[in-house]
Amino acid sequence: MRLLAGLRDRLAGGSHALEVDASSVRDLLTRLVGESPDFRAAEELVFESATRDRAARDLRILVNGRSVQFLAGLDTNLQSNDTVTLHLTGARGYPGG
């Protein structure tokens, strides 16, 4: 998986990419949080709440360049060699959008 910008320091000790074994996006995020030294902070960054049923509002998750918003969300299944990208974002944007 690939991490962009601030997530590199906050989730992966500064590295850009990680190899993670996971069967779904939810599984992957859970492992990522579990392996993080400060798992509370990681959980807050990745999930909307401690129940972990939704990704944080400003986290974007791409599987092979496609946002999981247009796939099966956190239940999107992963195959081996899939590339998952995480980036933070945020814009309240425009009216009528």
Partner 1 sequence: MTLQGGFTGTILRVDLTRGSVEKEAIREDWAREFVGGRGIAVRYLHEEVDPQVDPLSPDNKLIFATGPLTGTNASCGARYMVITKGPLTGAVTTSNSGGRFAPELKFAGYDMILFEGRSERPVYLWIQDEIAELRDASHLWGKGVFETEDTIRRESGLPDCAVSAIGPAGENLVRYAAIVNEKYRAAGRSGVGAVMGSKNLKAIAVRGTGAVRVADPVATMRSQWAMKHELTQAPLTAEGLPAYGTLALMNVINEHGALPTRNYRDSQFENAEDISGEELAETRLAANKACFACTIACGRVSRISEEGVGRYGVSCSPRNWRHATEGPEYENAWSLGADCGISDFDAILKSNWMCNDLGMDPISLGATIAAAMELYEAGVIDESVTGIPMPFGSGEALLTMTEKAAYRDGFGDQIAEGSKIMGERLGHPEVFMGVKGQEFPAYDPRALQGMGLGYATSNRGACHLRAYTVAVEVVGEPEPMDPRAAEGKGAVTKAFQDTSTAVDATGLCLFLTFGTTLESIHPILKAVTGFDLADNELLQAGERIWNLERLWNLRAGLTAADDTLPKRMLKDAIRGGPAQGEVSRLPEMLPDYYRERGWTEEGHPTAEKLAELGLG
Residues near partner 1 (CB under 8 A) are: 2, 4-6, 8, 16, 58, 60, 62, 64-67, 69-70, 85, 87-97
Given the complex with partner 1, which of 5 and 41 has the nearer CB atom? 5
The one-letter code for the residue type at 95 is: P
Given the complex with partner 1, which of 8 and 52 has the nearer CB atom? 8
Could you tell me the smallest distance in angstroms from the CB atom of residue 60 to partner 1? 6
Helix (H, G, I), strand (E, B) or coil at 89: coil
Given the complex with partner 1, which of 49 and 89 has the nearer CB atom? 89
Could you tell me the smallest distance in angstroms from the CB atom of residue 8 to partner 1? 7
Could you tell me the smallest distance in angstroms from the CB atom of residue 19 to partner 1? 17
Could you tell me the smallest distance in angstroms from the CB atom of residue 12 to partner 1? 13
Query: By the 8 A CB rule, do 36 and 42 touch?
Result: yes
Collect contacts of 53-57 with beta carbons under 8 A, ≥24 apart: 55/29, 57/90
The residues that bridge with 67 in the sheet, in sequence order, are: 62
Buried b (16+ CB within 10 A) or exposed e, 20-37: eebebbbbbbbebbeebe
